[in-house]
Every structure is written in structure tokens, then in C-alpha cells.
Amino acid sequence: MSANRTELILAHADKRIPRYTSYPTAPHFGPGVTQDTYRTWLSGIRPGTPVSLYVHVPFCRTMCWYCGCNTRATLRNEPLERYLDTLEMELNLLARALPSVLPLKHLHWGGGSPSLVRAARFRGIMQRIRRSFAFKRDAEVALEVDPRHLCDELVDAMAETGVNRVSLGVQTFDEKVQRAINRVQPFEVVADAFARLRAGGIEGVNADLLYGLPLQTVDGVIETTDRLLELAPERISVFGYAHVPHMKPHQRMIREEDLPDAAGRLAQADAIAERLVSGGYRQIGLDHFARADDPMARALESGRLRRNFQGYTTDEAPVLLGVGASAIGSLPEGYVQNEAATENWRREIVDGRFAIARGVALDDDDRMRREIIERIMCDLTVDLAALAAAHGRPAPEADLGALEADGIVRRDGDRIVVAEAFRPLSRVVAAAFDARLNLGPARHAVAV
């Protein structure tokens, strides 16, 4: 790593910038979008429009101290079962509100730990979803799994109901780091989960890694990455830990003096990327890696890579429907988000109303900027003139002067290109086109 590159990246590393899994981003959602708004948007979906579905399960057995998700820990099954009862009510409510049975391209179970759902209950909910949507033959059906809580019965249920992709939360194999984040998970547990899934016929096994964790070192992330390569996941996501204890109080259990500084975070991210690329993976956008023959790598090559609330995706459906507490939906008209508190969410659903807490309606400028930002985040380049013309609007102005002077971006006619060496700053470049950005202290994660 050149000293100049390091200095330039570190000059931006502590900026608070959105991850741009949407535009406008979630802090700009407000109460002006209601369940009535959502019903109107749903009724306008044309028959035959492909859709995707996100199912949120906000329960874990124990709380990982690094977690930034909407979830809570419980050792009892009753809260989860009660939640799933309400989830099925919401699925029924959604099916009745849609104008027709729509083709489903992607289904993603997230959390929390959806792998806590009992096999029989999982089968029942999947059957209900299949009655409400017409699954495409090539539909991707994905589930986030905690390797510590994976049983053969659930693997069988997943395989029987069409699950073809699983994301395993690995994070790190360093034992001292695992103890510091309250997630002790030996390599053997993860290896066993890989073996169980593949033996059950689920070949699309992904893994998530984290850098920037307490007590984490460059040598430690290299060792973790090398061990993970032994398991040969199809895709690997590499996220930087976002320390926001003012938003996630359980993160106060992490000692701030144990966290690496910006230079340490960058060195860890670079080391992981170098190891994965050397191991035959293609780097996808900011933080994903995929085998060269994986559909995500092919989507990148053909300019069809997308980005949504699950990160980078091959999902091109124009409608994403979210069910469960805090779930976010995306429609051509805008975004909606459910109540985050499970009891508030449940109360609305039981009363026969969608539990929409907030959202944002898009205007033409938002749609254009959303696509510009998405292309930068996915492709590291965007043709501003062509994209603006497609939206029938003038290309937006962006203050890129300092980034150009430093060689972070360059202009090729109307095209903006992020230099490969400065891939970690793609969010910073995207932010130049964010008309709503507020660089306040705690609204977003650090840039690197």
C-alpha cells in the first residue's frame, strides 16, 4: 500500500457517510408516508410485475455486542412463536392488498436469526408465501443462518421448500475477538454448518466477515480469511464494524480502547481483499466478493448488479415488499418501513392495518440521484449525461474538485470513474451526489 494512497483514504475515513443501500437513506424517512399511502402504492402494481419479498425475524438466542440490527435476545420460544403468528397475519394482509398473484424473483429471510424458526413452522410459512406469490423457476430463496443454531431438521425443511442460498454469520475465527464481541463460534462449528447445508443440497453458501472489531489485528483477519477459504463459500461479504453505542446500547459492552483506529481498519480491509482476490474471488463493489462463475460476478460484468437493503444483489425486481417488525419495502413511488417495536407492529397488524411507521415518497430528482449513486456503488463509474437523459433531467452538479485533484476520481467526458485503488472511498464519491446528506456526527457509519 503506497503511503500517498493511505494518507488520502485516511483523510476521508472518519467522515460519517451513508452505506447507500437506498436513496434517500433511512434517516430521511418520515411520518408523511402511512399505511394508506402504502395501500395506494400496492394497488398500482401492474399484474405480472416481478417482486421480491423480505421477511424479518428479530430474535437471537444471545446478543452479539457488535450487532447493529433490529433484534433482541430470548432463550424462550414463546416470543418467537407469537411473532410468527403475527407475521402470517401480515402475509395474509399483504396478499389481499395486492392486485394479483405476482411473480416472485427473490425471497430473503433476515434478522436476527431466522434459523431459530422451527422446521415445521418454517415449512408452514413458506407454504403460505407460495400460495400468495408465483415463484419464478430461477427464484433465489435465501436465509441468514447462525451456524451455532443449525439443525438437520431445518436444513431438510429449507431444501424441501426451495431455499437455495444461505448466508452464514462467520465474522471472525479469532477466539479473543469472539470473546470480546460475545460470539464464541469455533471454526469447527462453521465447517459443520457448511457440510450440513451442502449435504442437504444447498450449494449457494455465503459467509459474512467483519473487520474493525475489538482486539482485531491484520494478522488475525488474514488467518480468519485463510481458514474461510478452506470452506470455499460462493460469496463473501466483508463489512466494517460500525460502533454506534448511542444508537445500540449493547455496544457499550465493547471497550472503545480495544477498537482499531482508522489506519488499522483500512489495513484490515485491504488485507482481507488481497487474500480473497488472490484466492480466486472477484471483488464486487465496496464490500462483496464472489467466485468468477457466480451469478453476482456475471451481473457485475453485464452492468446488472444492484444494491438494496441486503447489500449487493442480483435482484432486478422493481418492487421489494418487506414483512416483519422494522422491515423496509421499496416501490417505484418510494420507501416504507414498518414499526420497529414488535408490540407496536403486532398491534397494527392484529387490527388489520399495515404497520407503516415512516417512509419517503420519491420525486424525479430522487430517482435520478438514486440511480447515479447505485451505479457508483456497484460499478465504480457512471455516465452522468446518459443517465440524466434517460430520466429527462439535466445532470446534477457535484463538487468533485478535491477528489479529482487527489486522483480519487477522474472524468472521462461525461463519465465519472472511481480509481480502483480508491475503491474504499466509493461511498465518499457517491455522497457528492446526495442532495439530502447531513454530515452530522452520528447519523451514519464511518466511511472506511
**426-445 b/e (C-beta count within 10 Å ≥ 16 → b):** bbbbbbbbbeebeeeeebbb
Q: Please enumerate, by residue number, every residue annotated as part of a binding site.
A: 54, 60, 64, 66-68, 111, 144, 171, 183, 208, 242, 328
Q: Please enumerate, by residue number, every residue annotated as part of a binding site for S-adenosyl-L-methionine.
A: 54, 66-68, 111, 144, 171, 183, 208, 242, 328
DSSP labels, 290-342: EETTSHHHHHHHTT--EEETTEEE----SEEEEESTT-EEEETTEEEEE-SSH
Asked whether residue 6 falls in the same domain as residue 110, the answer is no
Distance in angstroms (rounded) separating the CA atoms of residues 48 and 104: 10
Q: Is residue 448 part of a domain?
A: no
Asked whether residue 6 falls in the same domain as residue 54, the answer is no
Which residues make Cβ contacts (< 8 Å) with residue 432, sequence separation at least 6? 398, 399, 400, 403
Q: Please enumerate, by residue number, every residue annotated as part of a binding site for [4Fe-4S] cluster.
A: 60, 64, 67
Asked whether residue 182 falls in the same domain as residue 241, the answer is yes
For 201: left if phi > 0, alpha if psi spans -120 to 50, otherwise beta; the answer is left
User: Among the three residues 263, 292, 323, which one is the final residue of a domain in this structure?
Assistant: 323
Asked whether residue 141 falls in the same domain as residue 202, the answer is yes
Q: Is residue 337 part of a domain?
A: no
User: Among the three residues 323, 350, 381, which one is the final residue of a domain in this structure?
Assistant: 323
Distance in angstroms (rounded) separating the CA atoms of residues 56 and 321: 11
Query: What's the total number of domains in the chain?
Result: 2
User: Residue 248 sits in a domain of what CATH number?
Assistant: 3.80.30.20
Asked whether residue 49 falls in the same domain as residue 146, the answer is yes
Asked whether residue 54 falls in the same domain as residue 70, the answer is yes
Asked whether residue 410 falls in the same domain as residue 262, the answer is no
Q: Which domain holds residue 413?
A: 1-15+364-437
User: Among the three residues 296, 323, 350, which one is the final residue of a domain in this structure?
Assistant: 323
User: Residue 375 sits in a domain of what CATH number?
Assistant: 1.10.10.920
C-alpha cell at 44: 398500482
Asked whether residue 51 falls in the same domain as residue 10, the answer is no
pLDDT in tens, the chain (448 residues): 466 999 999 999 888 899 999 999 999 999 999 999 999 999 999 999 999 999 999 999 999 999 988 899 999 999 999 999 999 999 999 999 999 999 999 999 999 999 999 999 999 999 999 999 999 999 999 999 999 999 999 999 999 999 999 999 999 999 999 999 999 999 999 999 999 999 999 999 999 999 999 999 999 999 999 999 999 999 999 999 999 998 899 999 999 999 999 999 999 999 999 999 999 999 999 999 999 999 999 999 999 999 999 899 999 999 999 999 999 999 999 999 999 999 999 999 999 999 999 999 999 999 999 999 999 999 999 999 999 999 999 999 999 999 999 999 999 999 999 999 999 999 999 999 999 987 444 456 676 7
Q: Is residue 355 part of a domain?
A: no
List strand residue ranges (DSSP E) for 362-438, in order: 381-383, 409-412, 415-418
